Amino acid sequence: MSSTAPEVIILHGWSRDAAPSAKWQPVVRLLQEAGVRASVLKLPGFELPLEQPWGVDEYVQWLLQQLVGKQNFVLVGHSFGGHLATTYAARFPQQVQTLILISSAGFRSHSLSARLKRNGFYHLAKLGKKLSTSGTLRQLLHRMAGERDYLEANTMMRETMRRVIEHEVDSELKNIVAPTTVIWGENDNITPMEFADRLLAGIPNAKLQLITGARHGSPFTHPEKVAALILEAVHA
């Protein structure tokens, strides 16, 4: 493949899978078949070792080291990877030619249901830990609280998750200069549409692409559509 072909760098989301980058291969293959250089970065704490808890700042500095010498690339981020991609594009705006955010994290929801989930269900999960030594009950309560990733993570990754969630991207969005495509599943129940609206309001040159019938994992359930939208943004 020509070295002058557009380069797409993908940041995967938070995952309990042993090899989260492998789930992206259908999308990567479609992009490569279309003449685009595409790769998924393996992230510390997932497929690369992590010796101590990190927050968004540490991940972004690590990304800067990985992308030394690269200019005018297309940066794609899904969920947690979108959180990192957004922050990177805001802090190093001249490096990113195009930004593509898929069901991106980076906010705390302001909706009533999310507040209830954070407060009421959080305490319910903690109550379950006190009430029973039964792992099954504790896991059920934590799932109700939306904390399955947290429950199944080791101590270091739990602290990493806590630090990442503490960081919100709102104040940095105005610094993004790259044309940005925001891709969302219309039925996403993990990152609410409110997050997409905040990205569109805060990023100067952003547009929305909604995937009908998709939920949070659109790159895996709708790889052809996601690849097509990435290619559309690459060649815009």
Question: Poorest-confidence range of 2-6, 172-176, 193-197, 217-221?
Answer: 2-6
163 within a domain of the structure (yes/no): no
- What pLDDT, on the 0 to 100 scale, is given for residue 144? 36
- What pLDDT, on the 0 to 100 scale, is given for residue 131? 43
- Residue 117's pLDDT band (boundaries 50, 70, 90)? very low
**Domain ranges, residue 222:** 7-107+168-234
Mean pLDDT, residues 4-9: 88
Question: Poorest-confidence range of 57-61, 94-98, 115-119, 141-145?
Answer: 141-145
Mean pLDDT, residues 128-143: 45
Domain stops at, among 132, 157, 182: 157
Secondary structure of residue 149 in the 3-state scheme: helix
Where are the extended beta strands (E) located within the chain? Answer: 7-11, 37-41, 73-78, 96-102, 180-185, 206-211
- What pLDDT, on the 0 to 100 scale, is given for residue 72? 86
Cα separation, 36 vs 29, in Å, equals 9
> Of 117, 123, 114, 87, which Cα lies nearest the Cα of 203?
87
- What pLDDT, on the 0 to 100 scale, is given for residue 180? 99
Mean pLDDT, residues 31-47: 96
Clarify whether residues 37 and 122 are in a common domain: no
Mean pLDDT, residues 99-122: 66
Cα separation, 208 vs 181, in Å, equals 6
Clarify whether residues 222 and 130 are in a common domain: no
Contact 184, 209 (CB under 8 A): yes
Interval 154-209: pLDDT, tens: 788 888 988 998 899 999 999 999 999 999 999 998 899 999 999 999 999 999 99
Residue 78's DSSP bridge partners are 102
Tokens of 152: 């199944």
- What pLDDT, on the 0 to 100 scale, is given for residue 71? 84
Clarify whether residues 150 and 56 are in a common domain: no
Clarify whether residues 31 and 65 are in a common domain: yes
Pick the residue with more confidence: 99 or 161? Answer: 99
1 within a domain of the structure (yes/no): no
Clarify whether residues 28 and 92 are in a common domain: yes
> Beta 73-78 vs 37-41: how paired, if at all?
unpaired
> Of 167, 55, 163, 177, which Cα lies nearest the Cα of 106?
167
Clarify whether residues 96 and 116 are in a common domain: no
Clarify whether residues 77 and 18 are in a common domain: yes
Task: Look over the chain and give the mean of its residue pLDDT values, rounded to a whole number.
Answer: 85
Whether 143 shows a pLDDT value over 60: the answer reads no
162 within a domain of the structure (yes/no): no
Clarify whether residues 11 and 79 are in a common domain: yes
Contact 180, 191 (CB under 8 A): no
Clarify whether residues 20 and 102 are in a common domain: yes
2 within a domain of the structure (yes/no): no
Clarify whether residues 32 and 69 are in a common domain: yes
* Number of structural domains in the chain: 2
